[in-house]
Amino acid sequence: MRIGIFDSGIGGISTLLACLRHLPDAHYLFYGDSAHAPYGDKSPAQVRQWTEEAYAWFISAGVDAVVLACNTATSAAVAPLRERADVPIIGIEPAIRKALTDHPQGGILLLATSITVSGGKLRDLLDRLENGQERVRPLACSGLAEIIETQDTDWRARARHYLQLRVQPARTADIGVVVLGCTHYCWINDLINDTLGGDIAVVDGNDGVARQLCRRLGVVPIGTDTAPPLPRHARISLHFTADNGVKSRLARQLLAASGVSVDTQPDLPHARACSDPGSAGR
């Protein structure tokens, strides 16, 4: 079984990890659109076009399902894409429903990109959920995904500084939970906890996406509440649209930090040439 995972960059690796817990034997094709990242401050029309290009790449590589491991791309593109999709498309959206259910009192701080915060998809979701508009406080974190994506020597210090400056002031006394509405933010879970106070719960939508992927593929998800363990080896083909070598190495390091080593895969059939020719699919 082949599964396509798509993001602008390394945020989607956190979603890939969640999928690996439930479907450890699948062959994953990861597509990171580093040539156009970050997506959050671009126009929804541009993000839609790049998501469609990624989808076409996945189809040419013969996937059985595509996961949009990017809240921004889901917000901008999932609806038009699904209208003419040949395989199931699973989008990620902020885990607000879970936050509202698990924390029946108080405010919910939602951190996401500008496109996600201003998009109609979020507005509709908040309208649909009981007390959604009243309890959820969306905060656009422009530039934060960019800091995380660099993974350079001082990126964590810069992310901490960003959180202190921009996010900390938005934490009012009644807020007990933070929803991560961008997959990149999953890599700073601990910093968010630290900056906003250890008593705050932090939730993301990755496990929900992995379970939905299972359902769409006719596989029963493992367990109900607890996440199954990660496999030690995984079949993953990494493809980034710019700096493929550097980005793929980074992705492998992030996976290794979670105890997952990437088994070498043969080159993908029909994989389209990218900005770093010859490196696609490895």
183 contacts ligand DGL (rule: CB under 6 A): yes
Beta bridge partners of 7: 32
Rule CB under 6 A: which of 102-121 touch ligand DGL?
Answer: 113, 116
241 contacts ligand DGL (rule: CB under 6 A): no
Element (H, E) at 32: strand 27-32
What are the residues whose beta carbons fall under 8 Å from the beta carbon of 29, sequence distance 6 or more? 2, 3, 4, 5, 58, 61, 63, 236, 237, 239, 268, 281
Q: How far apart are CA 77 and CA 185, in angstroms?
A: 21
Nearest approach, Cβ of residue 62 and ligand DGL (Å): 25
Among 173, 164, 163, 167, which Cα is nearest to 139's?
Answer: 167
DSSP state of 260: -
Mask: binding to ligand DGL, 18-57, rule CB under 6 A, as x and -?
A: -------------------xxxx-----------------
CA dist 210 to 23, 47, 79, 148, 215, Å? 8, 23, 19, 23, 9
Considering only residues 4, 5, 6, 8, which one is a binding residue for ligand DGL as defined by CB under 6 A? 8
Instruction: Select the span of 123-131, 181-189, 222-230, 254-262 touching ligand DGL (CB under 6 A).
Output: 181-189
Among 238, 231, 178, 203, which Cα is nearest to 30's?
Answer: 238
70 contacts ligand DGL (rule: CB under 6 A): yes
Instruction: Select the span of 3-11, 195-203, 214-222, 245-253 touching ligand DGL (CB under 6 A).
Output: 3-11
Considering only residues 18, 67, 111, 182, which one is a binding residue for ligand DGL as defined by CB under 6 A? 182
Residue of 70, 141, 186, 214 marked active site: 70
Residues forming contacts to ligand DGL in the complex (CB under 6 A) are 7-8, 11, 37-40, 70-72, 113, 116, 145, 182-184
Q: Which residues are catalytic?
A: 70, 182
